[in-house]
Structures are given as C-alpha cells and as structure tokens.
Chains A and B, each alone.
Chain A
C-alpha cells in the first residue's frame, strides 16, 4: 500500500510536470488535458462519493416507479451482471484501477442509454424517473471525462474496452428487470468503490503520521 502511495505521489509529480509541459503549444497528447482539473484523482474521489448516494437513490426510485415489489427485487434484480468488476478495484495499481473504473463507467454509460430508452416507452416525458436517469447518466459521463483526464495527466490514455454483450430484451418486464439489475449492481459498485477509497485515504493518512513519528524518533534516540 505504501508503495502505491509513493507511486501515486510520483505520478502526481509527473502529472504536474506534464501540466507544465502542456503550457507549451506543442503538438502532443497533452493538448487534450488542457481542460482537465488540476487533480483529477481528487475530483474522481469526490465525484464517486456524490455518485454513490445518487446511485443508491436511483436504484430505489427505479424500483418504485416500475411497479416492482420488494419481492421482485430480491428474487429478480439482485443478480450480478457482467460489466461490473468483481471485488474491489482500489487494491489494484492505480492505472489498473483507473482502467477498471473506466471500463465500468463505459459500460454504465451504455447501460444508461438503454435504460433511458426503455423507460421513455413506459413513462411520461416529464417523469421524475427519467430526469433522475438523465442526471445519473450525465454524472457517469462526467466521471468518464475525469478518468480520461487522470490518464491524460499521466501521459496515458485508457485502453479501449469491450463491453460484454447483453441479450436484446424486447419484453417490457424483462427490460425493467434488466434495468433494475444494472442499477442495483451500479449502486453496489459505487458503494464498494467509495468505501474502499475512504479506507484507502485513512490508511494514507495513518501512514503519513507514522512516518512523521518515525522521523521524530530518529531525531531523539534517547527517547
């Protein structure tokens, strides 16, 4: 973990240097980073924290609006769908983590597109659920943008991802269930992600404090 933090710090320094380099009007990959925030990782962390709560609310709202009973959810929705990584991605190296996050968000971007289309057939144009889906979709796009920025500031770009194919669903019930599954998995993923990030952050702080104390001990060996 410590190593990862150091790597993270190094990467930040690299990103900083890259940012300085970006000041030069040269034809490089940095051109796309110009509109990126200074600290995309921090942005991603903040953004996921916000999205986690929204994702949970959206999942509940979706269920309510679909005429789905709690019993439906337990039986039909709580099922893993391919598209979300298994386990926590925070424990992976940072670039891998970003790539996994990127992949998941690309999947979610596409899923939101499909869910919104399905729901437009079932709801009024001004239905609250459609608005909530739109906002969540925009948030995913924003997160994707910041992930790309996080790659960008490190002079990289995310690898192209292949989205696992989902069976084409024509029946409205199945569409609802598919949406329910995706949103439930999305909420769980975001919950795990923010929890891991939070714990990771605490650990970083603890490590920093341990380092300071170690230095102090070295300075006063008699103690």
Chain B
C-alpha cells in the first residue's frame, strides 16, 4: 500500500516537471535570423527576421519588439511592437522604418525580441547598417542628395568629411561656421518653405586634406500634386481616343521632379499613358491611345511626384464620346430661286459613324436659321435640301455634325459657303400715298411709295411702274416708270377722279399692284380741306413720339396719317402711316422728330383706296423753352413802368406753343410789389412774378414801384417746355415824385420872396431905419436909386467857373451888337434881375471855362458880368487863357448875357472859396469904360488849377445887370459837352 502511494507520487512529480520544462521550451521563440538593409533614397531601414519553424507551425500570435539605434553607441532612437500571427507562409517577417536622418549619416542598428504568452525571448544581437561617417574615404559627402520635401516639413541633412576632414562651415542661405568642427555634422531645417525652382543649394566646407574641400546638395521644396480635374475622354474617329485633364495647382518643383500622370485601365490591366507634366505652366495634360476593339474602359488616373500621389477613377465608353471632325467640302446645287441642295463630306472615310448634321443659314439681315439633317454615315456624301430661301439673296451656310447615337458634342463648324439664290418676281406689295397740290387746270399729285413689310425685290434692276387712269372719262391710262431707289414722283391730273396704281418690277416679273383713288374736284375744291375753318388741333408728344387721335367713323375701312419729317425743308420728307378701320389713334414714332420743331399731321379716312381728309393736328415731339421777347419800356412814370414786346412771334417759329408770359421784377429790397407772387430762381434770387396767360397780350405795366429805386425786369415767354432761365434783364430806376420833392422847397421859398418884395417896396423906409450904406461912385452909377451892395448882394465870389464858352462867333457878334445896344440901354434900364457870365477864351472861337472834372457839380453865379477883350491885354492874370491856348490871342469882343452859369466841380471849388474872397489882386472894371469895340467887362480870374472858383472884387467900380427878358431874346441855349457852363 505504501509502495503504491509512493509510486503514484513519483509519477506525478515527473509529469509535472516534464510539463513545466516542456511549456517553457514551447513558449519562447527567439529570432533566428535578422537582416537589416537600407533604401538610401527613401531613407528607409529594411528589416527582415525569422523565427524557428516550430514557432511557425504553432501558428501563435506573437509580438516582436524592435529597437533601432543610431551611432556606434547604440542610442535607441526608435522602439516599436510588431504584432503578427505566425504562419508558414509569411516567411520571413518584414518591417521597415523611415528615418528622418539620412541613413548614411550614422550607423543604424536593429535588434528584435519576441513575446509569447507574456514571456519575452532574449534580444537578438544588434544588426548594423554602417553609416559613411566611419568610412576611410577621402571624399567629403553630404546626405541626402537632391532631396524633395514637402513644404512645411522638417529637413535633416548631414555633412561627412573625408577621412582627415572636419566640417568647417555650413552654407544654406548664409554661411554658418561650425563651432566645434567634427567630421560629421547633422543639421535640421524646420518648416522648409518654397524656394528656387531648381532647388535650394546647401553646402558644407571642410577643413583638412581631402579629395575636395566642399560638398553640397539640393533641397527641392514642393507640394503634393493635385487630384486631376476636368477629366474628359473622347474620340474623333473611333480609332484613337484621347483623355484630357487639368493638372491643378502649382507644385513648385519642376524639371525632373514634376508630377507624373499614369492612366491605368482595369479592364485591360494596362497603363495606357504615362505622362510627365511638361512644365509647371502646362495646365492641361493629354493622353491618347489606339482604341482597337476595346470600347469601354475603367480608368484610374494617378498624379504622382516625389512627395506622394493622388488618383481618381472614372469609366469611359468610346461610343458615347464621339466628337466628329469638322465637315468639309461644302458645296451647293441650285434647285430654284428659293431652294438649294447642299452637299458635304465627313471624316472618317474608313469608318462608318452615324452622324447628324446641323446646317446654319445666315440671312443678310442677321437672321439665322438652322436645319437638321437626318442621320448620315460618315463615309458617304451627305446632302440636304434647304427650301424657303429668299430669292436673290446672299446666304451663308455652314455645317457641323455630331454623333447620331449618344450625342456627345458638335464638331467645329465647317467653312462658310456663301451663295446667292436665283432671282424671282418681286413679292409683296408697295404702299402708295400721295400729296395733292392744286394747280391751274388740274392738280399736281406727288406720289410716294414704300415697301410694305414682306415686300421683296427678289432681283436686280427694280423699277416702279405707275399707271393712272381717269375714272370719269374713257381715256387711255397713262404710265410712267421710275427706277429704284427713287420712291416718289409727281404726276399731273385733271379735276376728275383718278385711279393710280403702282407695281414693282424686275427683269423676271412684276409684283401685285397697289392702288389709290383720287376723288374729283374742281377749282377751289381741289385743295383738300376739312371745313371752312381748317383748324389744326394741338397734340402733345414725348421724345420722338406723338400720339395722333381722331374721331373714327364707320364709313372708313382704314385711316392714314401723314406728316413731314422736316417741315421746314423742301422736300419735307413726307411720311405716312396706315391704321385699321377700328382704330381711333396711332402713335407716330419717328426718330427724325426733333424737339422744338412743330409738326403738322393730317388724318385721312380711307374707303376703297379713296382717302379724304378728316382732321389736322399740330404738335411737338417735345416742346422747348422759347426765345426771350424783345422787351421795350414804353412808359416810365413814378410808381410804375410799362413794358411791351409787341413784335414777339407766337407762331411755329417758336419751339413750343406759347402759353403766356411771366414778368419778373426784382429790386435790392426783394419782392414787395403788390399783385405779384414771389418766385425763387434756381440761383436763389427772389423775384416778383406776374403771369400773363394770353399769348397775344404783349404789354404789361408794373405798378407800385418805389421811387428812386433800381429795378431789374425780365419777361419770359412760356411753352410746354417751360421758360429759359433769367439771364438778361432790363434795368430801370423808378422816377422820383417831384411833387413830393419840391413841395417843401416851394413852401420855404414863398415866404422868403414875400419878405424880399416887402423889403424892396419899403426899402427907403428900411434905409432910414437902418444905418447908412456907403454910396457908390456917382460917376459910374447913373441909375437913380440903384446901388449895389456888392459885398452883401453879389454872390459871385462864391464860385467862379473855370471855363466859360460861347457857342459861336456869329452868335458872339450878335451878342456883341446886342451888347453895345444893350449897354446903352442898360444905362437907362434899371436892372431888375441878376445875370450870369464867366468867360474864358477857347482855342479858336469859344470861350471856355473848363474844368478838369466833368463830373463835378454845378454852381450858379448870380449877377451879370461882362468880359471884354479890350480889357484882356491889361489883365494881369494871364492864366485866364492859358487853360486852353498856348499863345495869348486878342480876345474878340465876346460876351454873352446869360442869366445862369453852372460851374462844375463844386466840391473842389468850395474849399477855395474862403481863401479867395477878399483877394485884392482882382481887378474889377466897370463895363461903362468899355471902348466901342467892346464893353469893359469884369475880369474874372480863372485859375489854371482845375475847378478853382474865384470871386469878384468887392471893391470894384460897377456891376450892371440886364433883364431876364433880354437874355431870353438873344441868348442861345448853351450846352457844353464838357458840362462846365450851362445857360438856362
């Protein structure tokens, strides 16, 4: 029993131990084979390894841990788990790793271990791919060489010196010295950007002896190619097919690195095209191939460059994408004047493609017609009959074709075929109209015609055949032929009714005739009139359009409106327009209508080709503002002004119907006239406005003017087009109301005169009352009771004119005689009033007391003074005549009794007045001492200075006066243009 128990225990132990051992053995499958290689271009490490056959047979899921180390120091730079289920087929196992660092830059080692049931196998030994940084070569190197990288990625490169070299500098965009020179230098450029098309150069220079002291590489930065776009494939001849696509955006790398396009067909498993984009600027890519028998394709089009690829799938059925060749050899065969047969040829000739063709017919008037042919084979001569053509017309034909089945697109148009169809008789009718003018013994009928819509000449040498026949007398019809392009003629007919017909004729035949009938009329009735008044009704128009309306009558079968396009010209270009029997108006739409021109319209009712005048109209297509009236002032009195523009015409010479007039008045004070309305002009000025609504009322009186106020007046005629802006005005000054001006003056003078008269009447009494007045020289004064209180009465000293003029010698002589006679009479005649005189010798005959300032004021000198030439010589003041004569001349005895002298230059005289009064140098000579040749005159001192006003000597001997009556009798009216002397 004990033995049995012990045996059982031993067996269990052995079994357990075996199982443990066996399990341990079967769960660990170490790597039996490991090989590492590299793809330098792709910077890819290629790893192959294997496990034992027993492991494969177990077909277990396994995990492999792979470690990649760089440099000799075995720095692990990458670690990855690789899961797989072992099988007999996937032998050996494969894994690759893309390195950022070019594999030549450093040695790369790989080791692998496996794991089964959470039990790791031991690591394999490191398998190493040596870098070139440890080579014994003298040649410096740089890696990678000619690398293409995507924009924005990082780029790592290394420079490896020769055996005895160390990297000294790195040159990219500038020179970067290497601080610690080593044989191998690794650098990374982050986020590379697009650069030169041929690649950016990167170089390293080396110190130390070697094959050469520099090396370099190119960095091409670009983009992935775009997915091909706008792909379409087609065939033109069913023999070859072509696919076209758009390459897409710029990838910024060119030359050998441009994108490659591959067109792969899945049905035939063939790559039909391998197209390398010729250049970055070439946008469209094309691929063509022979179809042979394959009609359907399933394509994948791939665009690929060094950075990657993009592809697109599509199918292509050749029969559905037929784009025929352009038809050729188009020619014609004339069938009739309106029919032509067209022939053409198509491609391909060696293949029968069913095509439909489209013929384009371009008419001379720009109209285009299309005709479609039935299906034709490409290898036959196709033709089509084109009918309905216009005779004797140039037609341009061209043709294009497309596939009859599965239409894809039209071919290009063929070359144009230009033909002229045959001639035929004119078709359609002419529209005939007339204008009747009575003449002695008959009527002149001017005939006008035009082609009605649809009329066609259909040939050359068109002439118009006009025939007219008397409907009341049996006479032979008369005939006239007018060649085109004339469209009017004049015939003379009698007072009977006539039928006039017209046809168009070419050398083939004539068109259908058009007729009008002219009613009979005698003498005065020959002229077409509506009624006795013959009144013209006004119509309104808009731009180039005038609506004419009339009272329709049932008796007419149609209406005609005629007018002249150029009413002011001869011929006036008569136009007419017909309308139907049920119309009551027509819109005359004429381009020839000019705004501002009055047009006359006549409306005729027509029945059986016989027209009778119904109405007359006048109107403008657009009325314009009329011309301004020529305004005259016909009356100007205080408070009002009367205006007239009688000559203003209101007829058709105006660019519109005159509706009335607007009168505008403006003063500085604005508008304050009664009865007016305020009007603000566009320029902002305010005017008083009066309106006259009757065009024939051409006078107007503006009232309520303010005296002594300046006014501007304007008269504007008004039409439907408005009126012109106020640009020209009539300026007036409202007159003063003299009654109001002089009333205070009169009221002031009357008391003064009364007092003076009383004083004179009672002068002895006054004398007695007042102190004694010294008596003048008794010798001189022969007049009893006459004394001159020179200083108190004579006011000559107030102002002396600087120019005194006598009108003429004859007058002077007359005056001379008069003066002699008067002087004698004067002794006997008491001087009752004062007279005025101041004389200066003029150049030849006149005495002029001139003023340099003609605008000066007027001074009135009281008391008569006579100036004698005899006294002139003794005059100590030579400057009297120096004013106007260069040499002193003997003064003729000239004087002119005048009762008023106006001396100019009041303003300049006034200041001198005070100074000159009391000037003792003045000589005052009595006129009684004058010789027979003249009368002694008081010398007036005229200064050479302009406007100097000198008084007479108060201590002088004698002053005489003459009466007003004498002056009026002998003194001519004296007017000086210089304004220096005025004689009232």
User: Do A and B interact?
Assistant: yes
Measuring CB to CB, which residues of chain A are less than 8 angstroms from any residue of chain B?
65-69, 71-72, 75-76, 119-127, 171-174, 176-177
Residues of chain A within 8 A of B281, CB atoms compared: 124, 126
The residue that A125 contacts in the complex, of B171, B195, B214, B278, with Cβ under 8 A, is B278
Whether the pair B200, A67 counts as a contact (CB closer than 8 A) is: yes
Max count, chain A CB within 10 A of own CB: residue among B198, B203, B255, B281: B198
**Is A124 in contact with B197, judged by CB distance below 8 angstroms?**
yes
- In chain B, what residue has the closest Cβ to A177? B216
Q: Do the beta carbons of B203 and A176 come within 8 Å of each other?
A: no
CB pair B254–A124 under 8 Å, yes or no, is yes
Determine if B201 and A68 form an interchain contact, defined as CB atoms under 8 angstroms apart. yes
Across the interface, do A173 and B203 meet the contact criterion of CB distance under 8 Å?
yes
CB pair B216–A122 under 8 Å, yes or no, is no
Question: Which residue from chain A places its CB closest to the CB of B217 in the assembled complex?
Answer: A173
B23 at the interface (CB under 8 A from A): no
B197 with A123: CB separation less than 8 A: yes
Query: In the complex the two chains form, is A67's CB within 8 Å of B214's CB?
Result: no
A176 to chain B, nearest CB (A): 6
B374: min CB distance to chain A, Å: 48
- B201 near A123: Cβ-Cβ < 8 Å: no
SS of A interface (majority): helix
Q: Are A71 and B174 in contact (CB under 8 A)?
A: yes
Minimum CB–CB distance from B216 to chain A (whole Å) comes to 4
Asked if B218 lies at the interface with its beta carbon under 8 angstroms from chain A, I say yes
Residues of A within 8 A of B200 (CB): 67
CB 8 Å contact bits of B856-869 with A (1 = contact, 0 = none):
00000000000000
Task: Please tell me if the beta carbons of A119 and B216 are within 8 angstroms of each other in the complex.
Answer: no
CB of A72 within 8 A of CB of B171, answer yes
Does chain A have a CB within 8 A of B385? no
Q: Kindly report which residue of chain A lies nearest to residue B176, judged by CB atoms.
A: A71
CA distance A120 to B218 in the complex (A): 16
Verify B279–A125 contact, CB threshold 8 A: yes
Q: Mark B188-203, 1 if CB is under 8 A from A, else 0.
A: 0000000111111111
A71 touches B171 (CB 8 A): yes
- Beyond A121-B256, A125-B279, whether A173 also contacts B146 by CB under 8 A is yes
* Interface of B toward A, CB cutoff 8 Å: 145-146, 169, 171-175, 195-203, 205, 214, 216-218, 254-256, 278-281
Could you say which of B175, B195, B218 has the most chain A C-beta atoms within 10 Å of its C-beta?
Answer: B218
**A171 & B145 in contact (Cβ 8 Å cutoff):** yes
Are A69 and B199 touching (Cβ within 8 A)? no
Query: Are B214's CB and A76's CB within 8 A?
Result: yes
Contacts A72-B171, A173-B218 known; A122 to B201 CB distance under 8 Å?
no
Which of chain A's residues have a CB closer than 8 A to the CB of B169?
A: 75
Is the beta-carbon distance between B205 and A75 smaller than 8 angstroms? yes
CA A127 to CA B196, docked complex, whole Å = 12
Give the distance in Å from the alpha carbon of A123 to the alpha carbon of B216 in the complex: 19
| B145 lies within 8 A of A173 (CB) | yes
Which B residues lie within 8 Å of A123 (CB)? 197-198, 254-255
Q: Are A69 and B254 in contact (CB-based, < 8 A)?
A: no
Contact call A120/B255, Cβ cutoff below 8 A: yes
Report yes or no: A67 in contact with B218, Cβ–Cβ below 8 A.
yes
- How far does the Cβ of A88 sit from chain B's closest Cβ, in whole Å? 29
Distance from A61 Cβ to chain B, minimum over Cβ atoms (Å) = 12
Partner of B146 from A71, A124, A125, A171 at Cβ < 8 Å: A171
Residue ID in chain B nearest A74 by CB atoms: B175
What is the CA–CA distance of A65 and B200 in the complex, to the nearest angstrom? 10
From the candidates A66, A75, A120, name the one contacting B196 in the complex (CB within 8 A): A66
Residue of chain A at shortest CB distance from B216: A173
Indicate if the CB atoms of A122 and B214 lie closer than 8 Å.
no
**Could you tell me the distance in whole angstroms from the C-beta of B151 to the nearest C-beta in chain A?**
15
Pick 22 A–B contacts, CB within 8 A, sort by A. A65-B197, A65-B198, A66-B196, A66-B198, A67-B201, A68-B201, A69-B172, A72-B201, A72-B216, A75-B171, A75-B203, A119-B198, A122-B254, A124-B255, A172-B146, A172-B198, A172-B218, A173-B217, A173-B218, A174-B216, A176-B198, A176-B218
- Checking B145, B172, B195, B198 against A122 with a beta-carbon cut-off of 8 angstroms, the contacting residue is B198
Distance from B266 Cβ to chain A, minimum over Cβ atoms (Å): 33
Write the chain B residue with the least CB distance to A180: B201
Q: How far is the CB of B466 from chain A (nearest CB, A)?
A: 73
Which one of A65, A76, A122 has the highest number of Cβ atoms from chain B below 10 Å of its Cβ? A122
Min CB–CB distance A173 → chain B (angstroms): 4
Q: Note all chain B residues with C-beta closer than 8 A to A122.
A: 197-199, 254-256
Residues of B within 8 Å of A177, CB to CB, are 216
Let me know if B217 and A75 touch, CB within 8 A: no
Cα A126 to Cα B281 in complex, Å, equals 9
B174 touches A69 (CB 8 A): yes
Cross-chain contact B201 with A66 (CB below 8 angstroms):
yes
Give the residues in chain B near A65, CB-CB below 8 Å: 196-198
Most buried by A among B200, B203, B217, B278: B203
Q: Tell me how far the C-beta of A186 lies from the nearest C-beta in chain B, rounded to whole angstroms.
A: 20
Looking at the assembled complex, report how far the CB atom of A129 sits from the nearest CB atom of chain B, in whole angstroms. Answer: 8
Q: Which residue of B lies closest to A119 (CB)?
A: B198
Q: How long is the Cα–Cα vector from A125 to B276 in the complex, in angstroms?
A: 13
Q: Are A69 and B255 in contact (CB under 8 A)?
A: no
- The winner among B175, B205, B216 for most chain A CB atoms within 10 A is B216
The answer to whether A121 and B203 touch across the interface, beta carbons within 8 angstroms, is no
Assuming A75-B203, A76-B214, A176-B198, is B146 touching A69 (CB within 8 A)? no
